[in-house]
C-alpha cells in the first residue's frame, strides 16, 4: 500500500510549474495531479496571453473547461470552481522569454514555491520555421533552466521530448542522453547550439522583407530548418530542434547544482486508454487521424509497411510515466547517495511499446476494416457508406510511383487541356489539384521516416541501472503497456470512442 500511494503522496503540498498545459499531454497531466492529489499546493500554468485576465480565460476555456475534467468536476460538485481557483494559477507567459515573461511579486512567489518544473511546451510542426523552432524547442529549454536556478526549493526538472530524436536508427535503441554536439551522421560541419541560433537570426535578417514578401520569408526559414536538420542526420526540423533541446537541458542544468533532470521520450501518442475518460482525444492525432481518414473514405492510399511495428502509447500512460519519473528522481525522495551538489546528465525514459509488446500496422488495418464494415458510417442520403480498402506502400519509391501514375499524369493532362483552351477552362481546377498533390508529397517527404521507422525503443526494467546509478520506477500508476494488452486495447477498443470524440 505504501508503494502504491507513493506517487500521489509525493505531490502533496508541492508547487508545480507546467508549460504546454493547453496541449494534449498538458491537460491530462494537470487533471491527473488535481484528481489523485487534491492537496497539491499550487499548479502554475503559463500560457500565451496579453495579460492576466486573458490568461485566466484561456486556461478556463482550453484546459479546465474541457470534458476531460468532468470526473473532477463531479467529485467536487459546487466546490469545483473554488478548488480550481485555489490550486491553479494561470500566468500570462511564454517560454521564449526569460523568466517566461513573468515579473515582480508573482515571479518571486512562484520561484519560492516551485518544487517541480515540467516542460511540455513545444512546436511540433515538422516543417516549422527554423527561427521559431529554435525559439520554442531550444531557447525555451534554456529559459526553463535559468528559471530553475532561481528556485531554492526545486527538486526536479522534467522535460518532454520525443522518441524520434533518434532519427532513422534501426534495431534496438537504448535510453541514452545526447552528448553535446552529437550528430546522427558523419559530417565535417560541427554541431553547435549557439552557432545555429546565430545562423537562424542572421539568415532571417537577410530574407526579411515587407508584408508582400513575408510568404517568401516564411518559406526560406522553413527550408533552412529542413536543410540544417538533414545536414546533421535528422529527417525534419521538429526532431532536430527537440534533440537540440535535450542537449540544452543537459548543458544548462549542469550549472543549477544538484537539481536532477529527466527526459521523457514518448512515441506516437494516442487517445486516453483508461482514465479519466477512455477514448478522449483532442483533434486528430497520428493513428487516430488514420482511423478518421479511413472512416470518412478520404484515405485511399497510405505510406506504411504493414509488417513494421506500430509504436503507440496512450496519452494517460505517458502522463503516468512522467509522474513516476518525477517522483523517482526528485531530490527530496532520492536515496542519500544520489542527493549530490553536482548534476549528472539527465536521465532518459522511453514511453513506448514497440519492444515489449509489438503490434504491427497490419493489426490496425484489419481491426479498422472489420469495425467499419460492421459499423458503417451513414451518408447524407441516409445510406450506409461502403468501406473501401486502402492501398499501402512499404517504400517511399513505391508510394511516389503510385501518386505519379494515379494523380500526377492526369494533372499534366489537365494542364495541357487548359493551355489548349487558352488557360480559361481548367486553370483554376488544375491549380487547386496541383497544390493538393504537392502538399501530399511534402507530407510524405517529412513523415516518411516515421511511417517506415525500423527502430525498437527499449525501456529499462524496474531497478535497472543507468550511468552507474539504480533508477526506480515506483508504483502507483499504470506504466507498462504489456500489462494492458496493448495490441487488443489500442487497436480494437478505441474505434467507437475515437468516433465519439472526433468524428461526429
Q: Are 96 and 135 in contact (CB under 8 A)?
A: yes
CA atoms within 13 A on the CB side of 15: 14
Cα distance between residue 199 and residue 182, in whole Å: 18
Q: Are 273 and 351 in contact (CB under 8 A)?
A: no
Find, among 121, 76, 87, 83, the residue nearest to 15 by Cα. 87
Q: Which residues pair with 469 in a beta bridge?
A: 466
CB-based contacts of 497, cutoff 8 Å, min separation 6:
271, 278, 279, 280
Cα distance between residue 434 and residue 96, in whole Å: 37
Find, among 372, 350, 386, the residue nearest to 495 by Cα. 372
Q: Kind and range of the H or E element at 265?
A: strand 261-266
CB-based contacts of 137, cutoff 8 Å, min separation 6:
122, 123, 238, 241, 242, 244, 245
242 given a catalytic annotation: yes
Find, among 243, 246, 19, the residue nearest to 118 by Cα. 19
Locate the DSSP E strands across 360-472.
391-393, 455-457, 465-466, 469-470
CA atoms within 13 A on the CB side of 166: 24
Q: What are the distances in angstroms from CA 333 to CA 43, 338, 451?
A: 20, 10, 40
Active-site annotation holder among 32, 56, 222, 242: 242
Q: Which residues pair with 466 in a beta bridge?
A: 469
Active-site annotation holder among 44, 238, 294, 361: 238
Tell how strand 465-466 and strand 469-470 pair up: antiparallel
| DSSP alpha helix (H) spans, 172-311 | 193-207, 214-231, 237-253, 286-295
Diameter of the chain by CA atoms?
Answer: 82
Go through 292-302 and write b for each residue having 16 or more CB atoms within 10 A of its CB, e for each that does not: bebbeeebeeb
Q: Which three cell numbers stand for residue 341?
A: 551538489
Q: Kind and range of the H or E element at 171?
A: strand 171-173
Find, among 31, 111, 110, the residue nearest to 66 by Cα. 31
Q: Are 468 and 340 in contact (CB under 8 A)?
A: no
List residues with catalytic annotation.
Answer: 238, 242
Amino acid at each position: 500500500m505504501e508503494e502504491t500511494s507513493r506517487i500521489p503522496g509525493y505531490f502533496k503540498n508541492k508547487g508545480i510549474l507546467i508549460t504546454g498545459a493547453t496541449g494534449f499531454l498538458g491537460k491530462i497531466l494537470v487533471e491527473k495531479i488535481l484528481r489523485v492529489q487534491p492537496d497539491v499546493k499550487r499548479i502554475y500554468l503559463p500560457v500565451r496571453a496579453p495579460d492576466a485576465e486573458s490568461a485566466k480565460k484561456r486556461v478556463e476555456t482550453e484546459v479546465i473547461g474541457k470534458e476531460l475534467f468532468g470526473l473532477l468536476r463531479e467529485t467536487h460538485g459546487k466546490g469545483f470552481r473554488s478548488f480550481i481557483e485555489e490550486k491553479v494559477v494561470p500566468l500570462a507567459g511564454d517560454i521564449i522569454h526569460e523568466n517566461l515573461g513573468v515579473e515582480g511579486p508573482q515571479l518571486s512567489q512562484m520561484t519560492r514555491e516551485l518544487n517541480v518544473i515540467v516542460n511540455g511546451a513545444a512546436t511540433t510542426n515538422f516543417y516549422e520555421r527554423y527561427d521559431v523552432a529554435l525559439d520554442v524547442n531550444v531557447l525555451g529549454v534554456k529559459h526553463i533552466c535559468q528559471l530553475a536556478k532561481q528556485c531554492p526549493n526545486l527538486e526536479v526538472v522534467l522535460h518532454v521530448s520525443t522518441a524520434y530524436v533518434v532519427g532513422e536508427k534501426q534495431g534496438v535503441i537504448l535510453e541514452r542522453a545526447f552528448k553535446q554536439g552529437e550528430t546522427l551522421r558523419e559530417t565535417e560541419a560541427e554541431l553547435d547550439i549557439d552557432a545555429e541560433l546565430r545562423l537562424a537570426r542572421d539568415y532571417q535578417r537577410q530574407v526579411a522583407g515587407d508584408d508582400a514578401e513575408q510568404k517568401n520569408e516564411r518559406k526560406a526559414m522553413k527550408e533552412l530548418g529542413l536543410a540544417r536538420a538533414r545536414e546533421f542526420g535528422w529527417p525534419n526540423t521538429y526532431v532536430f530542434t527537440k534533440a537540440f533541446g535535450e542537449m540544452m537541458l543537459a548543458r544548462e542544468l549542469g550549472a543549477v547544482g544538484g537539481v536532477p533532470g529527466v527526459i521523457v521520450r514518448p512515441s506516437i501518442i494516442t487517445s486516453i486508454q483508461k482514465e479519466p475518460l477512455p477514448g478522449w482525444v483532442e483533434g486528430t492525432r497520428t493513428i487516430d487521424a488514420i482511423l478518421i481518414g479511413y472512416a470518412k473514405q478520404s484515405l485511399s492510399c497510405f505510406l506504411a509497411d504493414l509488417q513494421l511495428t506500430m509504436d503507440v502509447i496512450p496519452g494517460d500512460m505517458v502522463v503516468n510515466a512522467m509522474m513516476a519519473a518525477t517522483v523517482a528522481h526528485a531530490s527530496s525522495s532520492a536515496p542519500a547517495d544520489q542527493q549530490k551538489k553536482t548534476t549528472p546528465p539527465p536521465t532518459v525514459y522511453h514511453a513506448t511499446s514497440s519492444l515489449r509488446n509489438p503490434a504491427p500496422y497490419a493489426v490496425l488495418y484489419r481491426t479498422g476494416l472489420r469495425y467499419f464494415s460492421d459499423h458503417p458510417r451513414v451518408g447524407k442520403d441516409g445510406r450506409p457508406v461502403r468501406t473501401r480498402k486502402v492501398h499501402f506502400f512499404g517504400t517511399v519509391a513505391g508510394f511516389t510511383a503510385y501518386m505519379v501514375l494515379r494523380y500526377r499524369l492526369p494533372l499534366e493532362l489537365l494542364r495541357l487541356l487548359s493551355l489548349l483552351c487558352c488557360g480559361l477552362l481548367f486553370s483554376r481546377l488544375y491549380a487547386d489539384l496541383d497544390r493538393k498533390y504537392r502538399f501530399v508529397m511534402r507530407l510524405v517527404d517529412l513523415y516518411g521516416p516515421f511511417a517506415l521507422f525500423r527502430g525498437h525503443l527499449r525501456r529499462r526494467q524496474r531497478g535497472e541501472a543507468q550511468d552507474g546509478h539504480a533508477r526506480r520506477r515506483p508504483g502507483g500508476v499504470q506504466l507498462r503497456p504489456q500489462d494492458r494488452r496493448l495490441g487488443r486495447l489500442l487497436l480494437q477498443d478505441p474505434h467507437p470512442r475515437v468516433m465519439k470524440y472526433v468524428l461526429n
